[in-house]
Amino acid sequence: MRYLVKIAYDGSKFYGFQRLNDLPTVQKEIEESLKRVFKKEVLIKGAGRTDKGVHAFEQCFHFDIDYDMGLESLRKAIQRYVSNYILVKSCHYVEDSFHARFSVKKKVYVYKINLGEASPLKEDFYLQPKFAIDIKKLKKVSKLFVGQYDFKNFVSGENANTVSLIYDIKIKKEKDILSIIFVGKAFYKYMVRNLVGAMLDYNKGKVSLGDIKKMLDYSQVPKQLSTAPAKGLYLKKIFY
């Protein structure tokens, strides 16, 4: 029997989602909780990896177990053994052919920037820039990234495939919080953070629109742009 579970978490308390030996990660904590629930090892498959410090409003994973305690009872059982920095939102029955990663149709990420007075209580959850933000400039440069491109110059590490499709990028301001919302097919390591970094570099006049366009059109451009800090990034929604 295969289950799909949706969770939220405070990424500032973890070294990312993926299991990393003895370091605290979301996957490790969930698997330890499932072991206590079912009295046996249970491995999970996540919809993707979030890096150290990246948060999630909705991360998903699946696992297999030949036992049915009911979905709400399962949700409560997992929640009982995880820390208060993880919220088990819901559990679902899925077909054996379902895969938390490979069945994804699109993902939504949001990057949050505090434009108001800096606060230590917001430091782990927002970028708090020490420079002026021109929202019109961010909207202008964001249009370059919408569409299908080889994002190799905006992805960190080695990846066999760096082509992806970004359906939309929206920029919204609510009170002092600026949100940059990315909707896309797939996002690779540091990709959203690198895109935000490029947008902020353009905002500061460090790079031109032409430079960024060239980085999209040619997969090997020797130009290093900024990587936005992990703390402002949230995995918001996954669509299957």
**Predicted confidence (pLDDT) per residue in 128-185, tens digit:** 999 999 999 999 999 999 999 999 999 987 777 899 999 999 999 999 999 999 999 9
- Residue 73 CA to residue 96 CA, distance in Å, equals 21
- Residue 156 CA to residue 67 CA, distance in Å, equals 40
pTM: 0.95
Q: What's the confidence (pLDDT) of residue 157? A: 77
Q: What's 106-239's CATH class?
A: alpha beta
The answer to whether the 2-94 and 106-239 domains have the same CATH topology is yes
Question: What is the overall mean pLDDT for the chain?
Answer: 96
Q: What's the confidence (pLDDT) of residue 159? A: 73
Give the Cα-Cα-Cα angle 234, 22, 67 (nearest 5 degrees).
Answer: 75
Spell out the domain ranges in the chain: 2-94, 106-239
Q: Which of 51, 124, 150, 211 is catalytic?
A: 51
Look at residue 95 and give its three-state secondary structure.
Answer: coil
Give the DSSP H or E segment for 46.
strand 45-46
pLDDT at 83 over 90: yes
Q: What's the confidence (pLDDT) of residue 222? A: 67
Look up residue 30 and give its amino acid.
I
Residue 66 annotated as catalytic: no
pLDDT in tens, 160-170: 789 999 999 99
Token pair of 228 as six digits: 């936005």
Phi-psi region of 16 (alpha: psi -120 to 50; beta: other; left: phi over 0): left
CA 40 to chain centre: 29
Token pair of 127 as six digits: 């970028």
Pairing of strands 55-64, 233-239: parallel
Which residue bears the tokens 């069945």?
A: 103
Fold of 2-94: Alpha-Beta Plaits (3.30.70)
Token pair of 111 as six digits: 């990057």
Q: Are residues 133 and 170 in contact, defined by beta-carbon separation less than 8 angstroms?
A: no
